[in-house]
């Protein structure tokens, strides 16, 4: 039977009789039809029919019923430079993500408050909660919303930006507590479940499987992520990833996407790492990490051959910090670290994660390919310096140009906050630009179809224009072209 899954689906006699089968085929799942299989199945020599294999999918009803109350929504108030085009959305507004843009009707405003919304989960009956650091960083006020409609003002106990973990505390007792699992027991292909607030739709349940383990990502800090195909979106950040036992095995943290929404690649922070971070934040107010004092890269086949190794393995030291623990022990650039405390080092990322997860002051044993021979080094680790988080200087707006536009280049944090691919924000609009309808807070993407990301590039594109230009503007999440007449020079 052929079933069309799109427009023009036609009901046949067989689909009327077996609608569930038709649905499952539309979803790409082959489910044997028991009745027809029994009629057509051949008999073996003993006259019995061959057993039929039936695909069984798990139900997550019990898990959600037991653990759903441990998941919370986390809302923070942040001050953003710009001017609002509408009132800031309230927590729980399902469309809040779409309105966090600079598109003001009032030119006089330069700062306003926005509310962010993420997820989290309760780890103690007296009110400790884990979430992502990026959900609450720079927030002046943090409010936690429970499934029973209660809400609490939360205190930020500590933040670790290197792992994107934050610990909150609310004044409450007898709260439902999430059960903490062991991510090491996860296998690729295992079912997992996420609960969170994608786009503000609170307590949304999504499911998928573990796609990979130990995934190192660019700018992933000191985290070996759990990769899944669980649909998560903005608002899921900080929420729990459950195994089928209802145990938290990860914290949903980020996705890879070209659209800003889910595209099949989701990444969670292993819960054992998150709990270590939590313990450090409670005990010391910060996370202490071991420091070896080297920079390293992976070893490919050509490098292995060049350095005399039989196969690609280990972490190739590219530089050694003068006076650091590795330098004092005699490690040199060009050495290849093969083992750490007897465990094979498969990559530079794995070495970095292992060293960072080791307590400062603790001795570690390295097996190193050193000067064309295997040598052992015992090194006492130093402490990795606390990550500096200086606020970047906000670029000053330019003087108005021929169009009457005063532009400013956005900082990286502002671009993340605005969820924009653009880099130039209009600080002020006068003359022809104002007459054409350009407003402060608009983001300039292109001039006459030429993408621009700096003021210099914008001015260069303007020099190529004649009597008028077409500016591609981003406003309220939408893009539009605006034609502007050039003033005479």
Considering the domain architecture, whether residues 101 and 188 belong to the same structural domain is answered as: yes
> DSSP string covering 200-238, please?
G-TTEEEEEEEEEEEE--TT-TT--EEEE-----TT-TT
Instruction: Report helix, strand and coil shares of the chain as percent, to nearest 5.
Output: 20, 35, 45
For residues 108 and 104, what is the distance between their CA atoms, to the nearest angstrom? 9
- Beta bridge mates, 144: 74, 152
> 217 and 262 in one domain?
yes
At 257, which CATH number? 2.40.10.120
User: Does residue 378 sit in the same domain as residue 441?
Assistant: no
User: What is the share, in percent, of the chain residues with pLDDT greater than 70?
Assistant: 77
pLDDT (tens digit, 9 = 90+) per residue, 205-242?
999 999 999 888 876 668 999 999 999 999 999 999 99
Q: Is the pLDDT of residue 18 over 90?
A: no
Q: Comparing 136-150, 188-202, 378-392, 472-486, which segment has the lowest mean pLDDT?
A: 378-392
Alpha carbon distance 139, 118 (integer Å): 12
Whichever domain contains 306, its CATH number is: 2.30.42.10
Q: How far is CA 301 from CA 209, 305, 318, in A?
A: 32, 6, 17
Tell whether the model's pLDDT for residue 25 goes beyond 50: no
Whether the predicted pLDDT of 111 surpasses 70: no
Q: Binning pLDDT at 50, 70 and 90, where does residue 82 land? A: low
106 pLDDT band, cuts 50/70/90, is: very low
- Does one domain contain both 409 and 453? yes
Residue 100 has pLDDT above 50, yes or no: no
Compute CA distances 197 → 131, 151, 234, whole Å: 13, 15, 8
Is residue 52 in some structural domain?
Answer: no
449 within some domain:
yes
* Structural domain span for residue 336: 290-383
The answer to whether residue 291 scores a pLDDT higher than 60 is: yes
Predicted confidence at residue 83, as pLDDT, reads: 46
pLDDT score, position 45: 47
In a domain, 399, yes or no: no
Q: How far apart, in whole angstroms, are the C-alpha atoms of residue 52 and residue 35?
A: 11
Whether the per-residue pLDDT at 433 is higher than 60: the answer is yes
* pLDDT greater than 60 at residue 297: yes
Q: What is the pTM of this model?
A: 0.63
pLDDT in tens, 172-201: 999 999 999 999 999 999 999 999 999 889
Q: Are residues 2 and 94 located together in one domain of the fold? A: no
Asked if the structure places residue 230 within a domain, the reply is yes
214/227 Cα distance (integer angstroms): 8
Mean pLDDT, the chain, rounded, equals 80
- How much is the pLDDT for 391? 43
Query: Catalytic amino acids?
Result: 134, 164, 237
Q: Which of 32-41, 167-176, 338-347, 379-388 has the lowest mean pLDDT?
A: 32-41
Report, as an integer, the average pLDDT of 75-83: 69
pLDDT interval class at 398 (50, 70, 90): low
Q: How far apart (Å, rounded) are the C-alpha atoms in residues 418 and 420?
A: 5
Whether residues 192 and 105 fall in one domain: yes
Asked whether residue 188 is domain-assigned, the answer is yes
pLDDT, one tens digit per residue, over 322-338 is 999 999 999 999 999 99
Same domain, 156 and 254: yes
Please tell me the predicted confidence (pLDDT) of residue 390.
41
Judged on CB neighbours under 10 Å (0-12, 13-18, 19+), 13 is: exposed
Q: Which of 60-64, 267-271, 311-315, 395-399 has the lowest mean pLDDT?
A: 395-399
Question: With 90 as the cut, is the pLDDT of residue 353 above it?
Answer: no
Q: Is residue 392 part of a domain?
A: no
Query: Residue 475: beta bridge partners?
Result: 478
The DSSP H or E segment spanning 297 is strand 294-298
**What's the domain count of the chain?**
4
In this structure, the answer to whether residues 100 and 238 fall within a common structural domain is: yes
Residue 52 has pLDDT above 60, yes or no: no
* pLDDT, greater one: 396 or 210: 210
Q: Work out the average pLDDT over 74-96.
A: 57
- Residue 281 confidence class, pLDDT cut points 50, 70, 90: very high
User: pLDDT at position 400, please?
Assistant: 63
Strand duo 374-380 + 363-369: pairing: antiparallel
- Among the three residues 269, 284, 299, which one is the final residue of a domain in this structure? 284
Q: Which residue has the higher pLDDT, 10 or 104?
A: 104
Main-chain dihedrals φ then ψ at residue 455, nearest 5 degrees: -60, -40
Per-residue pLDDT averaged across 53-70, rounded? 85
Residues 313 and 412 in one domain: no
Of the two residues 392 and 300, the one the predictor is more confident about is: 300
Confidence band of 13 (pLDDT split at 50, 70, 90): very low
CA–CA separation, 480 and 457 (whole Å) = 20
Q: Between 24 and 358, name the one with better pLDDT.
A: 358
pLDDT exceeds cutoff 50 at 63 = yes
Task: Look at residue 352 and tell me whether its pLDDT is greater than 60.
Answer: yes
Same domain, residue pair 22 and 84:
no
In a domain, residue 362? The reply is yes
Give how far the C-alpha of residue 325 lies from the chain's centroid of Cα atoms, to the nearest Å: 33
Dihedral sign computed on CA atoms, order 256, 259, 264, 269: positive
pLDDT of residue 105: 41
Report yes or no on 51 lying in a domain. no
Q: Are residues 163 and 31 in the same domain?
A: no
317 and 263 belong to one structural domain: no
């Amino acid at each position: 039977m052929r079933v069309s899954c799109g427009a023009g689906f036609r009901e046949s006699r067989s689909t009327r009789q077996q609608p569930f089968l038709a649905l499952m085929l539309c979803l790409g799942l082959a489910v044997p039809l028991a009745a027809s299989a029994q009629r057509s199945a051949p008999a073996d020599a003993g006259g019995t029919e061959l057993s039929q294999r039936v695909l069984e999918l798990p139900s997550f009803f019990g898990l959600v019923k037991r653990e759903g109350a441990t998941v919370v929504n986390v809302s923070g108030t942040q001050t953003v430079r710009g001017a609002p085009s509408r009132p800031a959305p309230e927590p729980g507004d399902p469309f809040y993500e779409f309105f966090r843009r600079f598109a003001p009707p009032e030119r006089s405003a330069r700062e306003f408050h926005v509310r962010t919304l993420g997820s989290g989960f309760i780890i103690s009956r007296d009110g400790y909660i884990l979430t992502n650091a990026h959900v609450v960083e720079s927030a002046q006020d943090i409010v936690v919303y429970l499934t029973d409609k209660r809400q609490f003002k939360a205190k930020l106990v500590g933040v670790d930006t290197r792992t994107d973990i934050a610990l909150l505390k609310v004044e409450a007792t007898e709260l439902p507590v999430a059960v903490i699992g062991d991510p090491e027991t996860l296998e690729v292909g295992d079912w997992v479940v996420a609960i969170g607030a994608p786009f503000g739709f609170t307590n949304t349940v999504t499911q998928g499987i573990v796609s990979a383990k130990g995934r190192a990502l660019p700018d992933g800090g000191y985290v070996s992520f759990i990769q899944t195909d669980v649909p998560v979106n903005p608002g899921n950040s900080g929420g729990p990833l459950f195994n089928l036992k209802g145990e938290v095995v990860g914290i949903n943290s980020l996705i890879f996407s070209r659209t800003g929404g889910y595209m099949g690649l989701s990444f969670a922070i292993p819960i054992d790492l998150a709990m270590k971070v939590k313990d450090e934040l409670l005990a010391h107010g910060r996370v202490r990490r071991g420091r070896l004092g080297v920079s390293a890269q992976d070893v490919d086949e050509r490098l292995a051959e060049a350095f005399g190794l039989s196969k690609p393995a280990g972490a190739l030291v590219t530089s050694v910090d003068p006076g650091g623990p590795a330098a004092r022990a005699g490690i040199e650039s060009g050495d290849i670290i093969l083992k750490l405390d007897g465990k094979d080092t498969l990559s530079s990322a794995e070495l970095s994660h292992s060293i960072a997860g080791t307590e400062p002051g603790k001795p570690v044993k390295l097996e190193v390919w050193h000067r064309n021979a295997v040598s052992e080094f015992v090194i006492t680790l130093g402490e990795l310096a606390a990550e500096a988080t200086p606020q970047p200087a906000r670029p000053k707006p330019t003087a108005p140009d021929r169009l009457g536009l005063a532009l400013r280049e956005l900082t990286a944090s502002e671009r993340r906050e605005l969820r924009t691919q653009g880099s130039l924000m209009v600080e002020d609009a006068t003359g022809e630009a104002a007459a054409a309808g350009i407003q402060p807070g608009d983001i300039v993407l292109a001039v006459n179809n030429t993408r621009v990301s700096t003021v210099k590039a914008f001015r260069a594109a303007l020099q190529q224009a004649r009597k008028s230009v077409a500016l591609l503007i981003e406003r309220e999440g939408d893009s539009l072209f605006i034609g502007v007449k050039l003033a005479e020079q």
